[in-house]
Structure 1
Amino acid sequence: MPYAELTITIPESVWISEVSRTHPDTRFRVLAATANTATGVARIEILGENPENISEKLREYDTVTDLTVFETKPEMNRIQVETTVPLLLTSLQESGVPLEMPFEVKDGQMTFEATIPQETLSNLGKTLDKFGIQYTVERIQQETESDSLLTERQRWLLDEAIEHGYYDTPRRTTLVGLAEDLDIAKSTCSEVLHRAEERVLKEYRNGDDTISSEFAMFSD
């Protein structure tokens, strides 16, 4: 099954594209989202300088019908947005591609990563073309069965964490230090590592059914 990494350029007509281009250093981290043909709802973290001002600017868009602020910090606002133009979400849903959360939008672009069947990947390209959404294929590779446990991004970050001593005892780096060294957000680093660790531990537990019986033997 192929692993694909695409950089999707969000059309300028979409509000998140325009506001992220106006504030190119701000990251819009989409935590959850759903959409149909008419409306869309997204839970978003605005990460950067003056997030409250950006939240207020979002209210000015005609396509943003409702905006609720859930949490405010000096460089983070967590909001929920309702919109009448969920173009990006509907295009991905129509192609049958599961959108893994969270994902980030920055300066009008988002990076899409997925391990999906070849037919679904082809449908994604056709659907993006249909909606006039530009994209660049950064990487496509066929994942072997032995590599299918983790995504490419998860393997990369897990390897980097090991190399930087994040799993050493005592640790040679912190989560913040690892994120800074790799030039990624702390929240993204934590999320990707957690998902990788979850998959590895569950696979280990599922594949080691003899442990409980061995302990039972010695318990007598």
Structure 2
Amino acid sequence: MAQARLLVDLPDGPWVADVSRAFPDTRFQVLTATPGDDAGFALVRITSSDLDAVLTAMRAHETLAEVSVMANDGDVATVQIEAGTPLLLVAAQRSGVPIEMPVAIERGVARIDITGDHERVAEFGRQLRAIGLEFDVEYVQQRINPGGSLTERQRELLFAAVDRGYYDVPRRTTLTELADHVGIAKSTCSETLQRVERTIVREFVSDLPRQPLETDADATDS
């Protein structure tokens, strides 16, 4: 299995390309996306210091049939949208490789993570070019699947922790700040991250070849 991350330059026209370029400091995260017969439906998290203006621009965009605000915390809103089927989903369907969520979009560029056999991953790239989308490949690597058994909520918290620099050295955010950002208690945040870390480490280790640990006595005998 191969895992790839692509940075796709979205063309002008689709709402997320136009609005994200008009508000370059705004971050869009597509949490779920479902194609329909004539339209696509998605749940999108928007982080912006000018959230009201962003929502106004979305409602005014001709490609959006519906914008429903599900939650609004001032600088972060979760909205449900209905629009034409996104080109990225078209490429995914044609190549038979799923796009991993969330998809982050800023300044008209979408960060796409995909996993599949090498041929399907390559076909996804060919399909993107076939529908006129340009992209850069950030990386392609052999997939070791730590975190494959995480729940959706655990994944969301992990992505938030990474995005906000909780695992940077030195850390760019504290546990308290991270908990406040995702809207949960600090104790819940700490316990959830511990479960996430335990799961990822165990799954990662299970994929590694085991070798006996050389002790000081073994080194002396040799």
> Does the 8 Å contact 2:5/2:138 carry over to 1?
yes
SS in 2 for 1:44: strand
Per the alignment, residue 11 of structure 1 pairs with 11
1:149 aligns with 2:146: yes
Alpha-carbon offset, residue 197 of structure 1: 3.4
Query: Residues 51-200 of structure 1 correspond to what in structure 2 (within 5 A)?
Result: 51-143=51-143, 147-149=144-146, 174-175=174-175, 196-197=196-197, 199-200=199-200
Deviations 1:81-124 (A, max 9, x none): 10024222222232212122222110001112233211111210
Q: Distance between the aligned counterparts of 1:99 and 1:150, measured in 2? A: 16
> Does the 8 Å contact 1:10/1:88 carry over to 2?
no
SS in 2 for 1:200: helix
Q: Distance between the aligned counterparts of 1:165 and 1:58, measured in 2? A: 37
SS in 2 for 1:25: coil
Where does structure 2 lack aligned partners over 5 or more consecutive residues? 149-157, 183-188, 207-222
SS in 2 for 1:132: coil
Q: Distance between the aligned counterparts of 1:130 and 1:56, measured in 2? A: 33
Q: Distance between the aligned counterparts of 2:70 and 2:133, measured in 1? A: 31
Q: Distance between the aligned counterparts of 1:88 and 1:60, measured in 2? A: 23
Per the alignment, residue 183 of structure 1 pairs with none
Q: Which amino acid is the alignment partner of residue 5 of structure 1?
A: R
> Does the 8 Å contact 2:42/2:81 carry over to 1?
yes
Give the length in aligned residue pairs: 183
CA separation of 1:52 and 1:177: change in aligned 2, threshold 3 A: closer
Per the alignment, residue 210 of structure 1 pairs with none
CA separation of 1:175 and 1:78: change in aligned 2, threshold 3 A: same
Per the alignment, residue 217 of structure 1 pairs with none
TM-score (normalised: structure 1): 0.69
Q: Which amino acid is the alignment partner of residue 111 of structure 1?
A: R
Q: Which amino acid is the alignment partner of residue 113 of structure 1?
A: D
Q: Distance between the aligned counterparts of 2:37 and 2:123, measured in 1? A: 18
> Does the 8 Å contact 1:43/1:81 carry over to 2?
yes
Deviations 1:148-189 (A, max 9, x none): 4358xx8xx6xx9678599xxxxxx7336789xxxxxx66xx
> Does the 8 Å contact 2:96/2:120 carry over to 1?
yes
TM-score (normalised: structure 2): 0.68
Alpha-carbon offset, residue 199 of structure 1: 4.0
SS in 2 for 1:101: strand
Q: Distance between the aligned counterparts of 1:96 and 1:195, measured in 2? A: 32
Structure 1 segments, 4+ long, off by >4 Å, are 160-166, 176-179, 193-196, 201-204
Where does structure 1 lack aligned partners over 5 or more consecutive residues? 167-172, 180-185, 207-220
CA separation of 1:6 and 1:55: change in aligned 2, threshold 3 A: same
Alpha-carbon offset, residue 137 of structure 1: 1.0
Alpha-carbon offset, residue 202 of structure 1: 7.4
